[in-house]
Structure 1
Amino acid sequence: MPYWFLGMLLVGFAPLMPQNWIAGVMVLVAPILAAFVTGLVPIVRPLESVAARELLRGASGELNARPSATWESRIRAGAWFSLHLHVGVVIAAMSLALPPFAIALLLFPFIGGRYASDKESPLHDWKHSSWEWLGPPAGLLMVFVLLALIIAAGETLSRLAPVFLGPSPSERLAELETKAVKLAERNRLARELHDSVGHALSVVTLQAGAAGRVLDTDPAFAREALGAIEESARSALEDLDHVLGLLREDASPRTAPQATLKDVDRLLEQTRIAGVKLDAEVDEGIKHAPAAVSREAYRIVQEALTNALRHAGKVPVRLRITIGDDRLEVEVSNPLGGASAGHHSGGRGLDGIRERVTVLRGHVTAGPDDGRWRVAVSLPLRSGS
C-alpha cells in the first residue's frame, strides 16, 4: 500500500503537468519503480526466497538464495519484488471486492426488490424483467473467475520465482567450487583416517596374535609386542582425535600428525614386531625429500604394508625406497597366495594411494607381477618434474 499511496500522492501534481494523462501514467508507474528500487537492497532476496519457498509450490520449494552480491542478481530480485507485490495488490483488491458483489448477484432475484423500488434506479427495469435470473449464474461465474485468477497467479509466480530469485551461473559455479573444496577436504581426512587407523589396527591384530602365541615360551618378545601395541594404539588415537576435531570444526588449536619418511624406521619396526619378515632397503637421502612428498610417501608406504598384512598375511614383504635428483621411487611387493590373489582389488587402500599420487602428479602401478603383488610409485620431487 505505501507504494500505491506514493502514486496517489502524484495525482496532486496533475494540474502542474502539461498533460493530465501523464499524471495517470505516473500513478501506475511510480509504485512499480519504487518497489523495484526497494528490491535492489541485497537482503530483500533471501527474505523473498523464504516467502516464496513457504507460500508457493513447485520449483520455488528448492530456493535457497543468499543476499544479492552482484547487480545482475539485484536487478532480478528487484523485478521479482515489484512483480509479486503488484500482482498481490490486484489479486487482493479483487478478493475483497468481487465476493460481496457475487453474493449480491446470487441473491438478487430474491432480495433485489428493495434496491429496485426506485423507478429511477438502473436496477428497476432489470428486477422487473426475466434478466434478473441471470444474476445467480453471473455471481457463480464471478467466483470461479476469481478462483481461477488466484490459482493462475500462484502457478505463474511459482514458475517465475526460480528465474528471478535463483542463483546466477556465477553463483552456481562458486557454490560448486565450495562443495568441491569441502569434498576434497573430507576425502583427505578419510584417507588419513583410513591409512593411520587402518594400519594401526592391522598391525595391532597381528602383534596381539604373535604375543599370545609366544607368551609362555618367549616372554621378552611378548613384552616387546605389547609395547608396540600400546604405541600403535596411542598413535591411532591421536590421529583419530585430530580427524574428529576437524570434522567437528573444533576451534581449539591442534597440531596435525605429520609423520614423514623420517619416521619410516619406526613403521618398519612395528611391522616386523607383527611377525612379518620385511626386507627393506631405504636410501638415507629420503630424509631430505620435500615435506609434502615425504608426508604422502610415508602414507603410501604405510598403506602398502597394511594391504600386504591384511590380504597376504605373514608373507615376506620387500620394500625399496630410493631417491634421485628429481624423483622418489617406492616399491612394495609380496608373494601372491592362493587366497590373497583376488583380494588386493577390494577396499579403499589402492584408491587412497592413487589419490595421493595424483595430487603430487606422480605415477603408480599395482597388480600381479611374476608371482608377486607389486605396488610401484614414482613421485616427482618438484611440481614441475
Structure 2
Amino acid sequence: MVGHKALLRWVHLVLGGALLMPYWMLSVVLLGGFGQGDGLLYQVVVLLGSLFTSLPMAGITALVPIVRGLEGAAARALCAVERPEELAGGPSQSWAARRRTALWYMLHVFLGGVVAGLTLGGGTGAIALIISEADDTTPWAGSSTGRLLAGPAVGLGLILLIVLISAGSGALLARCAPVLLGPTPEERLAAAERRATVLAQRNRLARELHDSVGHALSAVGIQASAAARVLRSDPDFAAEALHAIEETARAAVAELDTVLGLLREESPETAEPAGPTLAGLDDLLRQLARTGVTVDADLSPGLRALPAEVSREAYRIVQEGLTNVLRHAGPAPAGLRVAVTGSRLEIELTNPLGPTRPSRPGGGRGLRGIDERATALRGGSAAGPDDDGTTWRLAVWLPVGGTA
C-alpha cells in the first residue's frame, strides 16, 4: 500500500489523469452546450458526465498503433508488473491488439482521473482539516478536546482513503497490464514460429559443424598419431600422413567457411546451404583410406543426378557414419552401399564390432544428427548391432524428391 512500488503506481495513475484532461475539458464544453443551468447539481452532473463521455474519445485515439508502444513503456517503468518483459514494446500490428490497447487506455485514464482528482481535491481538503480547528458549529465537536482532534482525525481518514483507492487502482492496472498490453494469441504464435525457426537454424548449423569439422578432426588426429609412431622407422609413410593432414585441414577450413557463411546471410533460415554432395564420395573414401579404414563401396549409378538437397544430406550422413567407424571401430574394414531403389535413396553402412573396441550402444550427437537429417527430408534411419552382435549396421532411407 505504501513504499517505492506504490509511489511508482501513483505516478502512473497521475499520468493517466493528465492524459484524461484534454478529453474531459472537451466533454465539459460539449455537454455544457446542451443545456443551461447555474445550480450546483447541474454543475456536478456536467462534471461527472464529462468524465464518462471522455472515455470513448480516449479509446478512439488509442486505436493509433503507436499508443500501444508508449503505454507499454510507461507500464513497464511505472506499473511494477511481475513480468514487464511480456508487455508490448512496439506499435499494434493487428486490430485485436488495437482493441486491447483502447481498453487499457480507457482504464488507465479513468482510474488516473479519479486518483488525480482525489489527490488534488481530497488532499487539499484533508490538509485544511488537519491544520484547522473545529468551532461550536461543527457537528462532531462536542467539547474542546473534540474541537481540537476532530479536524485532524477526519483529515487523516481522508488521506488514508485516498491512499487505499490509489493502491487499489494501481494494483488493478498492474493485474490488467499483461492481459491488455501483452501479446495477442496471434503474436504469441508468430513468436513461437520465430523461435522454432531460429532453433531449427541453430540445429542445422550445429549438424554441419559436427559432421564436417568433427570428421576432419577425427581423421587428423588418427593420421597425426600414426605419423608420430612411424616417424623414424618409416619416414615416407609419415610424410604421406602429414600431407594427408594438410589436405584434410585445408578441406575442413573450406567447409567451415561455407558453414559460417550461412551466419552472414541476412535471412539464414532461408539461405540455400552449400557443401559437398555424393559426387565427392570418392575423395571422402580416399581420405579415409589414409587413416586405415578400408571401405568396400557399392555405389549405384545415377547418384550425380539426385536433387542437390538430397545429395548434400546423403553425403553428410555417409560422412558421419564413416566418422563413427573411425572413432569407435578404429582402422576396420567397412561396407557401404548407396543405391537408388524406386523413389527413394537407400544408404547402408556396416562395420565389424571388434572384441577390443566395441561400438557404443545408442550413439551420441552423430546418430542423432543423422536421424534429424533423414527426418527433415521425410525419411528415416536405424542403427544398431545385428542379431549375433558382430556387426554394426546403419541404414538410412530418403525419398528422392524429398525437401526439408
The two structures have a TM-score, normalised by structure 1, of 0.87
Partners of 1:181 and 1:196 lie apart in 2 by 22
Answering whether residue 92 of structure 2 is matched by residue 73 of structure 1, we say no
Give the C-alpha shift of residue 12 in structure 1. 4.0
1:95 to 88, 109, 119: 119
Answering whether residue 186 of structure 2 is matched by residue 186 of structure 1, we say no
Partners of 1:125 and 1:173 lie apart in 2 by 63
SS in 1 for 2:35: helix
Structure 2's unaligned 5+ residue stretches are 1-20
Partners of 2:295 and 2:185 lie apart in 1 by 55
Q: For residue 7 of structure 2, what is the aligned residue in structure 1?
A: none
1:34 to 52, 57, 82: 57
Partners of 2:26 and 2:60 lie apart in 1 by 14
Change (3 A) 1:246 1:150: farther
Letter in structure 2 aligned against 1:14: F
Letter in structure 2 aligned against 1:226: L
Answering whether residue 399 of structure 2 is matched by residue 380 of structure 1, we say yes
Give the C-alpha shift of residue 99 in structure 1. 2.8
Where in structure 2 are the equivalents of 1:297-336 lying within 5 Å? 297-336=314-353
Residue 10 of structure 1 contacts residue 26 of structure 1 at CA under 8 Å; is this kept in 2? no
Q: For residue 281 of structure 1, what is the aligned residue in structure 2?
A: 298
> What's the CA shift string for 1:76-99, capped at 9, x where partnerless?
101111210221122122122223
User: Sequence identity, in percent?
Assistant: 48
CA RMSD between the two structures = 2.8
Give the C-alpha shift of residue 258 in structure 1. 1.9
Change (3 A) 1:257 1:216: farther
Where in structure 2 are the equivalents of 1:82-231 lying within 5 Å? 82-108=106-132, 112=133, 123=138, 126=141, 131-132=146-147, 133-231=149-247
Count of matched residue positions in the alignment of Structure 1 and Structure 2:
372
* Worse-superposed segment, 222-231 or 156-165: 222-231
Partners of 1:296 and 1:261 lie apart in 2 by 9
Give the C-alpha shift of residue 323 in structure 1. 2.0
Change (3 A) 1:104 1:229: same
The two structures have a TM-score, normalised by structure 2, of 0.83
Partners of 2:180 and 2:376 lie apart in 1 by 40
SS in 1 for 2:371: helix
Letter in structure 2 aligned against 1:195: D
SS in 2 for 1:14: coil
Partners of 1:339 and 1:354 lie apart in 2 by 28
Give the C-alpha shift of residue 127 in structure 1. 8.4
Change (3 A) 1:154 1:190: same
Residue 49 of structure 1 contacts residue 63 of structure 1 at CA under 8 Å; is this kept in 2? no
Letter in structure 2 aligned against 1:375: L
* Worse-superposed segment, 350-359 or 125-134: 125-134
Give the C-alpha shift of residue 343 in structure 1. 2.2
SS in 2 for 1:233: helix
Change (3 A) 1:221 1:289: farther
Change (3 A) 1:140 1:28: closer
